[in-house]
């Protein structure tokens, strides 16, 4: 069951337990480079990012933000843009009211708002959020944890009879930092339903513990993400491991998968991974799912792997158009199986499935639609014929009924 939270509205997107878990992402272009940033935001949004964060790190970036939002509006890309502020957020939000106005949310790291003037700078940001009626994310990060709170808690820990480990104290300090900042924000006048919390770390077990404690400490929506998750498989698997455990426990209202792209790599991969995590956990449906058997000694041909790949590619290509043309298509399940042993059974559990011939089996491929055997394909055009059957099925089942 989902952990109960208040709802925080970010632009037109609602975040909280009464709404589906939201996917977000972050650009890696220089924000001052309006053209490249706009292009990347559009790519991330088209891939499925429902919120996009940009860094606002200097005057040039703060000046660029209104231009970026105007261009997105002109191009009819209504994705809420979140500003990520560190060190100088209080100055930028005060000096550039247009930037403060067009952002849909401000992200503040309480460990990075200054040391001596920490509360004053934090308060200035909150006052701007109140003035422009914006929500904030109080995003604590283990790499920039408020040292004053950590030292305080380490000192206290050393005085108790059974001291906690340094790691346990660090987790508690992260939670304390987030909660103190949220209290201060509310004391300044920000609404309880204008605050989202995150506590990012780079270790999976630590992440799970930080969020369990945050979840128990408040009813603010939580933004989940493993920071510095890394590149390639390592980043994907570590993020999935951490986020899946928490989401399964009902913890998490918005997620980001922080992958380091290969040089020149595609930034949208982080969005697809986030969607796949939610879809695999059956929390949301974004795309039709193609399940294929792993293959084994019963099938020596690669026909079924090729068909599964082709069908996946075909669906991916068509989805931007199908999504509007065929509402509900994202729930469709397609099965491509390598032989008759498990093929028919598995195919019957999908909306549409095909069981290809295994080694030594007759060269024919039964097709199942909504659990019933409909047709058996033969010859060397099986792939094309199956694709056509799939398209007919989609039109029939998900096509808008026109009067």
Cβ nearer to ligand SF4, comparing 339 with 352: 339
Interacting residues with ligand SF4 between 343 and 402 (CB under 6 A) = 343, 358
CA-nearest of 2, 3, 1 to 217 is: 3
In the bound complex, what is the minimum distance in angstroms from residue 377's beta carbon to ligand SF4? 17
Tell me whether residue 263 or residue 297 sits nearer to ligand SF4 (CB atom).
297
Which of 342, 348, 389, 397 forms a contact with ligand SF4 (CB under 6 A)? 342
Cβ atoms 240, 270 nearer than 8 A: no
Judged by CB under 6 A, the chain residues 299 through 328 that form the site for ligand SF4 are 299
For the CB of residue 334, give the shortest distance to ligand SF4 in the complex, in Å: 15
| Residue entry with tokens 């604590």 | 140
Query: Taking the complex as a whole, how short is the minimal distance between the CB of residue 254 and ligand SF4, in angstroms?
Result: 37
Inter-residue contact 45 to 79 (CB < 8 Å) = yes
Strand partners, 26: 53
Nearer Cβ to ligand SF4, position 21 or 337? 337
User: Smaller CB distance to ligand SF4: residue 20 or 295?
Assistant: 295
d(C-alpha 136, C-alpha 185), whole Å: 9
Judged by CB under 6 A, the stretch of 151-159, 313-321, 339-347, 378-386 that binds ligand SF4 is 339-347
- The angle subtended at Cα 188 by Cα 182 and Cα 192, nearest 5°, is 45
Q: How far is the CB of 295 from ligand SF4 (least distance, A)?
A: 5
C-alpha distances (whole Å) from 223 to each of 45, 85, 118, 198 are: 18, 16, 23, 5
Least Cβ distance, residue 303 to ligand SF4 (angstroms): 11
Q: How far is the CB of 357 from ligand SF4 (least distance, A)?
A: 10
Q: Which letter, b or e, does each residue of 81-107 get, where b requires 16 or more Cβ atoms within 10 Å of its Cβ? A: bbbbbbebbbebbeebeebbbbbbbbb
Contact between 341 and ligand SF4 per CB under 6 A: yes
Task: Give the interface segment with ligand SF4, choosing from 26-34, 109-117, 220-228, 336-344 (CB under 6 A).
Answer: 336-344
In SS3 terms, 160-207 reads as CCCCCCHHHHHHHHHHHHHHHHHHHHHHHCCCHHHEEEEEECCCHHHH
Contact residues toward ligand SF4 (CB under 6 A) are 293-296, 298-299, 337-339, 341-343, 358
């Amino acid at each position: 069951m989902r952990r109960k939270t208040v709802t925080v509205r970010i632009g037109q997107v609602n975040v909280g337990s009464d709404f589906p878990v939201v996917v977000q992402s972050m650009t890696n272009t220089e924000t001052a480079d309006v053209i490249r940033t706009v292009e990347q935001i559009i790519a991330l949004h088209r891939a499925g990012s429902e919120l996009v964060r940009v860094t606002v790190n200097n005057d040039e970036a703060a000046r660029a933000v209104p231009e970026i939002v105007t261009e997105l509006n002109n191009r009819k890309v209504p994705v809420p843009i979140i500003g990520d502020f560190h060190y100088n957020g209080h100055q930028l939000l005060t000096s550039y009211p247009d930037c403060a106005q067009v952002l849909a949310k401000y992200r503040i790291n309480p460990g990075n708002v200054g040391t001596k003037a920490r509360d004053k700078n934090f308060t200035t940001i909150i006052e701007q959020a109140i003035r422009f009626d914006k929500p904030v994310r109080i995003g604590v990060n283990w790499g920039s944890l408020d040292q004053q709170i950590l030292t305080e808690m380490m000192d206290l820990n050393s005085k108790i009879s059974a001291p906690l480990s340094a790691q346990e104290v660090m987790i508690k300090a992260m939670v304390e930092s987030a909660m103190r900042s949220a209290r201060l924000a509310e004391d300044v006048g920000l609404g309880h339903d204008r605050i989202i919390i995150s506590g990012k770390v780079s270790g999976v077990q630590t992440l799970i513990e930080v969020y369990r404690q945050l979840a128990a400490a408040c009813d603010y929506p939580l933004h989940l993400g493993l920071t510095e998750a890394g590149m390639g498989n390592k980043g994907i698997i570590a993020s999935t491991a951490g986020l899946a455990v928490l989401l399964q426990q009902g913890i998490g209202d918005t997620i980001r998968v922080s992958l380091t792209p290969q040089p020149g790599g595609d930034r949208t991969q982080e969005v697809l991974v986030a969607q796949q995590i939610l879809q695999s956990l059956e929390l949301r449906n974004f795309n039709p799912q193609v399940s294929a058997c792993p293959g084994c000694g019963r099938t020596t041909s690669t026909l079924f792997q090729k068909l599964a790949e082709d069908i996946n590619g075909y669906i991916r290509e068509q989805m931007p158009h199908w999504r509007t043309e065929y509402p509900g298509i994202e729930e469709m399940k397609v099965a491509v199986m390598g032989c008759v042993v498990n093929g028919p059974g598995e195919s019957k559990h999908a909306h549409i499935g095909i069981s290809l011939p295994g080694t030594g089996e007759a060269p024919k491929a039964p097709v199942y639609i909504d659990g019933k055997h409909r047709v058996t394909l033969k010859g060397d055009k099986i792939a094309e014929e199956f694709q056509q059957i799939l398209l007919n099925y989609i039109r029939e089942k998900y096509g808008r009924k026109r009067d």
